[in-house]
Structure 1
C-alpha cells in the first residue's frame, strides 16, 4: 500500500482524524531535547533530517551551531516549517544530494511509513548521503504510540516489524552498525520516558 501526500494533511498533524498526532505542534519541546542529546552523542558537522515534519529537530541543530537541512514528504508540513531549510522530498529519492553530503542523517519514525518493497531503496539512499552515520528511530511491531493509548493505530505505519526484522534488513544490505551509540540512545533517559528504548539503530560508515 502506498499513501499519497494528501494523507499527511492538516488533520493528520493536528489530530483531527484521531489516528495520528494529538497536535504535532506540541512536539517541539521533546524534539528539542532529542536533538540536544543527539548532538552531544554524534557531534556532527552537518545534519540531514529526513521525514522532518515541521523541522523542530533541524531548527534545534541550527541553534546549536550545526548546519542542518530537512526533507519532508508532506506539503502541509513543509508549509508549517519552523525554519527555512526544509524542502519537500521523498526518502526513496534523495538525488538532489551528493554522496557523503552529511555527517549525520536522521530518520525518526520514518521507515515504518515506507512500503516493504521500497525499503531497500530508502535505506540505501539514507546511507548514500551520509558520510558517517544514519540515526534511525523506528516504530516497531507492538510499539505504535496510538495503539498504546487505546486507538486503532496509525494506518500510515504500513511496515510494522519487530526489531530483529530490521536488523536482518540492515545485515542483508551489508551495513555496519555502531553498537555503542545504539546502546547509548536506547538507554537514554528520554528513550525510557518516551518508550523509545529498543527502537534506535545507528548505521555507520566508520
Structure 2
C-alpha cells in the first residue's frame, strides 16, 4: 500500500467482477511484508504515528466514542484509549485481533464490515480499508458505517495498484458520491491532510441542493487560486533554477580552467625544484673538488718548502751553479 497507514479489511462475498479478499489474506505474511516497518504493537514507528493521529482526531472531532472500522491490530484504538476516548475496533483478520495492541485489550473484535455494526459512535474511522473490498461489499460496508454514526473519517488510496489486496482502488469523487447517496457530505472546513492527502471527513447533513452547491463553490475558487499561485511560484522557481544551472556551468568551466592553470604551475614548480636540486648537487661537487684542490696545493707547497730547505738541494745548487754560469757566457 502506498499510504503510510494500512489497516486491513476483508469481505465475505465477491464484487461485480468476482475479485475480493478474505481474512486469510491478512495473516502473518501480510503484516510482515506489506506495510513497511514491522506492523507490531509497541513498534516505535507505528506507535509514534498513531499517537499523533489520535491526538489530531481528538483535537479535530472531540469524540467521546470512536469505532475504528478495519482496525488491524488496534494500534490506533490503543492510542485513542490512552487519550481518554472510549474507542473500539473491528477487523476481519483473526490473526490481527489475536495479536492486538495490549492498550486496547477487550476493545477489539473479529467481524466483517458487511455485517451490521452494533451500537452508535460519535465518530467512525475507516482508514485504508475499503480499497481491499469488492465494490458490492464496499457499498454494504458504507451502509453499515453510515447507520452507526453521523461522522465518518475516510481515507482510501486512489493510487496504489501494486498491492495485490487492493481490489477496489477508486478516486475520492467515487466515494464522495456514494456517501452523498447516504446523506453524508464532505466537511470542507476540515483539512485532514495530516493523515493522508486524500483523507476527508464526511458528516450526515440534511442539505439542500443550494447548500451543497454553495459549499463546493465556496471552496473551489480558493483552491483554484491557491493552485494557480503555487503553479506560478513553481514556474518562477524553475526559471531561477535554470539561471542558476547556467551560472553553475560557467563556474564549472572556470573551475576547470583554474585547475589546469594550477596543474601547469605545479609542473613548472616541480621542474624548477628539480633544476635547483641539480644545481645544488653540482655546486656541492664543485665545492668538494675545490676542497680537494686546495688540499693538494697545500700538500705541494709543503713538499716544496721541505725540498727548498733540504741539504741535498743546497749541494745540488752549488754544483750546478758554475755550469749555469758557463752556459750563459757561451751564449
Query: What TM bracket, shorter-length normalisation?
Result: 0.7 to 0.9
2:192 to 185, 188, 202: 185
Kindly report which structure 2 residues correspond to 1:71-110, keeping only aligned pairs within 5 A, or say none.
71-82=90-101, 83-84=104-105, 85-95=107-117, 97-98=118-119, 101-110=120-129
2:64 to 45, 68, 71: 45
5+ long unaligned stretches in structure 1: 148-152
Structure that is richer in helix per residue: 2
- Residue in structure 1 matched with residue 87 of structure 2 by the alignment: 68
| Residues 64 and 124 of structure 1, relative CA distance in 2, 3 Å threshold | same
- Residue in structure 1 matched with residue 14 of structure 2 by the alignment: none
Coordinate RMSD, CA, aligned: 1.7
Distance 1:185 1:205 in 2: 18
Contact 1:35/1:60 (<8 A) preserved: yes
Q: Flag the structure with more relative contact order, 1 or 2, with Cα contacts below 8 A and sequence separation at least 6.
A: 1
Moved over 4 A (4+): 19-22
Distance 2:52 2:23 in 1: 28
Task: State the Cα distance separating 1:167 from its structure 2 match.
Answer: 2.1
5+ long unaligned stretches in structure 2: 1-18, 206-331
Task: State the Cα distance separating 1:22 from its structure 2 match.
Answer: 4.2
User: Is 1:133 aligned to 2:142, yes or no?
Assistant: no
Map Cα deviations across residues 88-108 of structure 1 (whole Å, 9 max, x no partner). Answer: 01111134x13xx11010010
Task: State the Cα distance separating 1:21 from its structure 2 match.
Answer: 4.2
Over alpha carbons, which structure has the higher Rg?
2
Give the secondary structure class of the aligned counterpart of 2:122: strand
TM-score (norm 2): 0.52
- Residue in structure 1 matched with residue 204 of structure 2 by the alignment: 205
Aligned residues: 180
Give the secondary structure class of the aligned counterpart of 1:93: coil
Contact 1:20/1:154 (<8 A) preserved: no
Task: State the Cα distance separating 1:166 from its structure 2 match.
Answer: 2.0
